[in-house]
Amino acid sequence: MSLAVTLSKTQTGSGIRRYNEIPEVLIVTYQEIVEREQKYLLNTYARYPIAMARGKGVYLYDVEGKRYLDLLSGLGVNALGHAHPRIVKVIRDQSAKVIHLSNLYYNEYQGLLAEKLCVKSGLDRAFFSNSGTEAIEGALKLVRAAGHATGGPEKSMVIALDNSFHGRTMGALALTAQPKYRQDFEPMLEGVRFVPLNDIEALRAAMDDKVCGIVLEPIQGEGGIHVTSPEFLRACREAADQQHAALIFDEIQCGMGRTGQLFAFQHFGVMPDVVCIAKPMAAGLPMGAFLAKEDFAQHISPGKHGTTFGGGPLACRVALEYLAILEDENLLEQVRRVGEYFSQKLRELVDKFDIVVEARGVGAMQALQLSVPGKPVLEGAHANGLLINVTQDTVLRFLPPFLLQEKHVDRGVRILRKQLAALQKEHKKAAKGEAAAVTA
Ligand SMILES: Cc1ncc(COP(=O)(O)O)c(C=O)c1O
């Protein structure tokens, strides 16, 4: 296996390799890539045996040139697919001007992006971070500061949902209910109460005047694509208002167009006080943000929060281009149309296979709930040039690029159908074997 990487290499007098613009081909094999990573990287990722080299539109290509239909888009990041020409052009242009300026100075694009996001969301102020988890951390600090200002230091409790996922840093982890993520990292940040999704009574029972915020994903992503009910969201809004607490929506996975609306909350008719976004917002550059109502935002003043990288001119300009492309290419309409088609095709799989229990999702955020572990389907999909994800062991998750068309759905579903048939056959055979053993 070999990968032709076009790099530019010259040898300096000191023996240090420098890369410049003289092209030269280096050969990197799949094996070399894997061995180097396994030796030098912190052992955090159980990677699949694929090394990707490049992408174009809805397709990725591995180092051997094998093509994959990408129904995962970098875990929800590459909404514009790969190598979108307008994104490539803007990155080239801006990186030749200035990539980073500290937040000691104004830059041309940060205010423009904040304005655009505030106007589109109906919220008042933005803070830019570099990831989803940092957006959550900032939002958490904001609602605690607001809580302390209105109710004293005791008003610091946050309500979150069972089965949630909000990120890996300590604050976000404290809001993440799933034990597998928290294990080994205790003690957690204090002051978090969990309630089950869509359980209005439990929510009301958990509320008191010590609560400064309620945080939830309008559609739980990592938890297996579970949609909150509008009634539950309305109850959250009401409970937050009664206690002057902030309603925080984590739209890091479901926001920025993935549901066919720019913000997922626009489907539900419930307005949050704070919304966290990230993943696709800078078309693959690391960027996150939280947007907040003035009522809460006013409690942050200079020195209370900040970041070195957040809101740099390159990321902000690319994010503006991302939003412009969504509009110019009418991509939200495409997400709604193709999402409905995808959803219908997934429902057909529920009817066809006993091991497929349910199809869930909205727009470009879909899932198939299986009654058995989904890993064999994923492995078979990879072998057949299709990228999907399994979450919660039994949920096949699809977060495709917004460029997806009906013909791509057909291709993906064809491959899935084959894998599901094989898996079902295997399970039926195993069940028959067990039954025969019992009778014998
Ligand atoms: C809903 C949600 N919140 C927060 C995060 C954390 O974002 P990041 O990985 O960018 O820190 C994720 C990541 O998957 C997410 O899906």
For the whole model, what pTM was predicted?
Answer: 0.93
pLDDT of residue 28: 80
Which of 29-33, 155-159, 419-423 is least confident?
A: 29-33
Mutating to test ligand 1, I would choose from 130, 133, 178, 216 the residue with most ligand atoms within 8 A of its C-beta, which is 133
Q: What is the mean pLDDT of residues 262-280?
A: 97
Catalytic residue among 62, 127, 128, 250: 250
Is 241 one of the catalytic residues? no
Atom of ligand 1 minimally distant from the CA of 172 = 4
Mutating to test ligand 1, I would choose from 166, 227, 309 the residue with most ligand atoms within 8 A of its C-beta, which is 166
pLDDT of residue 438: 76
DSSP helix, strand, coil percent of the chain (3-state; round to 5): 40, 20, 35
Q: Whose CA is nearest to atom 4 of ligand 1?
A: 166
Please report which confidence band the pLDDT of residue 180 belongs to, taking 50, 70 and 90 as the band edges.
very high
Nearest Cα neighbor of 62 from 46, 73, 77, 49 is 49
At 124-170, the pLDDT tens digits run 999 999 999 999 999 999 999 999 999 999 999 999 999 999 999 99
At 102-127, the pLDDT tens digits run 999 999 999 999 999 999 999 999 99
Paired residues of 3 in beta bridges: 28
Ligand 1 pocket, residues with Cβ under 6 angstroms: 131-133, 136, 165-167, 217, 221-222, 250, 252-253, 278
pLDDT above 90: percentage of residues in the chain: 90
pLDDT of residue 5: 43
Residue entry with tokens 């399994």: 390
Q: What is the mean pLDDT of residues 384-408?
A: 98
CB atoms within 10 A of CB 44: 7
pLDDT of residue 8: 36
How far is the C-alpha of 376 from the C-alpha of 188, rounded, in Å? 35
Q: Is the pLDDT of residue 205 over 90?
A: yes
Please report which confidence band the pLDDT of residue 344 belongs to, taking 50, 70 and 90 as the band edges.
very high
Q: What is the mean pLDDT of residues 251-267?
A: 98
pLDDT of residue 11: 38
Is 328 one of the catalytic residues? no
Catalytic residue among 279, 290, 342, 353: 279
DSSP letter at 266 equals H
- Class of domain 54-77+331-431 as given by CATH: alpha beta
The highest-confidence range among 8-12, 18-22, 313-317, 436-440, by mean pLDDT, is: 313-317
Q: What is the mean pLDDT of residues 378-404?
A: 98
Q: What is the mean pLDDT of residues 179-184?
A: 95
- Retrieve residue 297's tokens: 């935002």
How far is the C-alpha of 51 from the C-alpha of 303, rounded, in Å? 42
At 319-341, the pLDDT tens digits run 999 999 999 999 999 999 999 99
Query: Going by DSSP bridges, is the β-strand pair 386-387/288-292 parallel, antiparallel, or unpaired?
Result: unpaired
Q: Is the pLDDT of residue 379 over 60?
A: yes
CATH architecture, domain 88-328: 3-Layer(aba) Sandwich (3.40)
Domain boundaries, the chain: 54-77+331-431, 88-328
Q: Is the pLDDT of residue 13 over 50?
A: no
